[in-house]
Amino acid sequence: MAEKDIICIVSSQYKAVFLKINSSTTILDLKFDAAEMLDLPYESLILAYEDQTVGSLKFLIENDGDLTSMVEHCHNLGLKEVHVQAFKEGDDSSNKQENEQVRQDILKSKSVDCGPSALLTTSVPDKNPNDNPSGDDVMTIDDMISRSERIPAWWHTALTGEGQRFESAKELRLALLYYSMAKKFEYEFGKNEPKRIRVFCWFKAAKNCPWMLFASPPKNDNRLEIKKFVDNHSCGQHDNNAGQSRASRRFIATQLQPTLKVRPDIRPIDVQKEFLSSYGIRVDYSKIWWGKERAQEKLYGDAHESYDQLRWYVEEVKKTNPGSYIHVEQNEGRFTRLFICYAACINGFLYGCRPLLFLDGTFLKDRFKGILLSAVAYDGNQGIFPLAYCICDQENNVNWKWFLQGLWSILYERPDPYNPPHKLVIISDADKGIREAVREFFPDSIHSRCVLHLVENFRTKLKDLGFKSKDTQILGNLLQSACYKYTRAEWNDYIDDIRLVDERSYNIVMNYAPENLANAFFPGVR
C-alpha cells in the first residue's frame, strides 16, 4: 500500500504555504521549496517542527534524519498535517538558545587538540597588505578557503556520539562524509559492510591517532547504532584540503540539486568555483561534471532511458489524445527524428489562430545535443501558440523537409471538413534549408523573412565586405526601418539612403527580394 503524503504547513511571520512531504522527501527539497515560495534566503533558512501533542515543543529539522523522524512520528499519531516554522538564522527569539548552542558546539569542535600543525581556527585569518591606494587589506584565496563560516551547521553535528542511530549504512557513510569535511580530516574504513562499519583516522598507523568510530545494529533492530566513538585527533594533519578526497559524485549531486532548479544552465567550472569559495572544498573538474549529470538525472530523469521510452510514449499519446500526430523515425532501432503535434494544437490553430506560421530552430543542451525545430502560430490574443515541433540531429535541408512534410499532412490531409487557409504566411530566417522546404510543400504560401534575422544577416555580410562597425549599424537600422514602412514611397526613401552610403549594400538588400521582407510589398490581405 502506497504511503500517504502529509500536508506540511510551512509558515514565516504572516505568510504560509502548503507542501506535500513523505519519507522520501529530502531536507534539501523541503528547504528549497519553502525558501522559494516564502521568499527567504536558502542558505540561512532554519526549519522548526512544532509538536502540539507533547506540550508545544519545538524541534529543529536540520537533516534528512530529522525530517524522516518527523514524518514517522506523524504517521504513528495518525496526523494528516504538520506545522513547521521557517525563519532566517537568528531571527526567531524562541530559537536563539538552540542556535547559540549549535554555534558553541562548532566552536568547541574547532578547538580539538590536533597538534601544532592544525589549521582549524576560530579567529579571523591575518590579512596581507596590498598596493591599494586606500590602504585597505585583502585576504588571500587560502585565507578565504580556511574560513568555514558558510559550512552548514548540521555538517558539524552529523555525528553526535555513541547511541546515535541511522536507518542504513548508506546514511551513516553520508553523515561521516559531511562530518569529515566540516572537521577537515581524512579517514579510512577498517570494515565497510551493510551491518558493520569501523572507521579510523587516516593517520592511525603513521601517527597513532586515536580517532575512530564503530557502528553495528543493536539487538532486535535493523538500524545501525554507533557503539564506540572516539572524537579526538592527535595526528596534527588537518589542512584546508583534508576531508575532500571522498567528495563523491553522489555528494556533489546532492548539493547541486537545489541549484539546478533555479540555474539549470550552470557550468561545471562555475560549480567548482562555488564549492571552493562557499565551503573551501577543492573538487576535480571530472567529479563536478559527473556530479552534475547525476543531479540532472535525479531531477529530470535519465536522458538515455527517456529516448528508449519514446515508443511507449507514442502509443500512450494516440490512446489518450486521439487526433494527435506523433511519429518517431529510427534507423536500425536507433533514434533519429521525432515529430509531435497534439490534437488540441491542431484544432487551436485551425479554429483560433491567424494564418501565420513562424519557423525556427534552436540547440538542445542535454547529453545527446541535437536540434529542436518548431512551428508556432499567432493567436487572437496576440500570444504565441505552439503548433508542432521536431527533434533531430541537425538543422539542414533534409530535416526541414521532413518536418514541413509532417506539417502539410496535419493541415491538408485531415478528414475534418474544415479546410485551412490556402494562403499561409510563413515567416522564418530563410536559412539552412527552410526556403527550399517551404517552396516544395507550401508552394502557394507567402514566405517572408523575419526582419530581425534579416537585419542581422545583412550586417554580417557588410562586415565580411570590410564595412566599419558604425556603418554596419547605421545601414542595418535603415533596412529595419524600411521593412516596417507600409508604402512604397517610404520604402524607396530609406533604400535610396542605403544606396547613397554604398552601392554594394543596396545590391545586397535587393537580392533579398522586397516581397519577402517588406510590409510595402506584402502580397496578401493584412
Instruction: Report residue 149's pLDDT band, with 50, 70 and 90 as the boundaries.
Output: very low
Find cell 543542451 and name the residue.
Answer: 365
DSSP string, 426-440: EEE---TTHHHHHHH
**Secondary structure tally for the chain: helices H, strands E:** 19, 17
> CA neighbours within 13 Å on the CB side: how many for 253?
15
Tell me the three cell numbers of residue 163. Answer: 547511541
Residue ranges of domains in the chain: 6-91, 153-299, 307-449, 451-521
For residue 242, which amino acid is it? A
Mean pLDDT lowest among 234-238, 290-294, 406-410: 234-238
Tell me the three cell numbers of residue 449. Answer: 523573412
Given a cut of 60, is residue 401 above it in pLDDT?
A: yes
Sheet of strand 325-331, all strands in order from the earlier edge strand to the far edge: 325-331, 334-341, 384-392, 371-378, 356-363, 425-428, 446-449
Tell me the three cell numbers of residue 495. Answer: 533604400
255-265 average pLDDT score:
83
Phi, psi (5° rounding) for residue 105?
A: -60, -40
Q: Name every residue whose Cβ is closer than 8 Å to that of residue 465 and which is 6 or more positions away in sequence.
A: 504
Q: Taking the domain 6-91, which CATH number applies? A: 3.10.20.90
Question: Rounded to whole angstroms, what are the CA distances from 78 to 47, 75, 81?
Answer: 22, 5, 9
pLDDT of residue 245: 60
Contact 58, 50 (CB under 8 A): yes
215-226 average pLDDT score:
88
Helix 503-511 / helix 488-501 crossing angle, nearest 10 deg: 140
362-375 confidence digits (pLDDT tens):
888 777 788 999 99
71-95 average pLDDT score:
73
Cα–Cα distance measured from residue 89 to residue 95, given in angstroms and rounded to the nearest whole number: 9
Among residues 199, 210, 302, 296, the alpha carbon closest in space to that of 246 is found at 199
Segment holding 228, helix H or strand E: strand 224-230
Q: What is the dihedral of CA 146, 152, 155, 157, to 10 degrees?
A: 110
Find cell 522527501 and name the residue.
Answer: 25
Find cell 558604425 and name the residue.
Answer: 470
pLDDT of residue 54: 56
Round the average pLDDT of the chain to a whole number and report it.
Answer: 78
329-387 confidence digits (pLDDT tens):
888 778 889 999 999 998 888 888 888 888 988 888 777 788 999 999 988 787 889 99
Q: List b or e across 255-286, with b for residues whose CB sees 16 or more CB atoms inside 10 angstroms.
A: bbbbbbeeeeeeebeebbebbeeebbbebeee
pLDDT of residue 177: 85
Q: How many residues does the chain have?
A: 526
pLDDT of residue 139: 38
Residue with the larger pLDDT of the pair 87 and 488: 488
* DSSP annotation of 119: -
Q: Considering Cα of 147, then 151, then 154, then 156, what sign does the dihedral take?
A: negative
Mean pLDDT lowest among 54-68, 78-92, 142-156: 142-156
Among residues 516, 514, 386, 378, the alpha carbon closest in space to that of 447 is found at 516
Phi, psi (5° rounding) for residue 84?
A: -130, 135
pLDDT of residue 216: 92
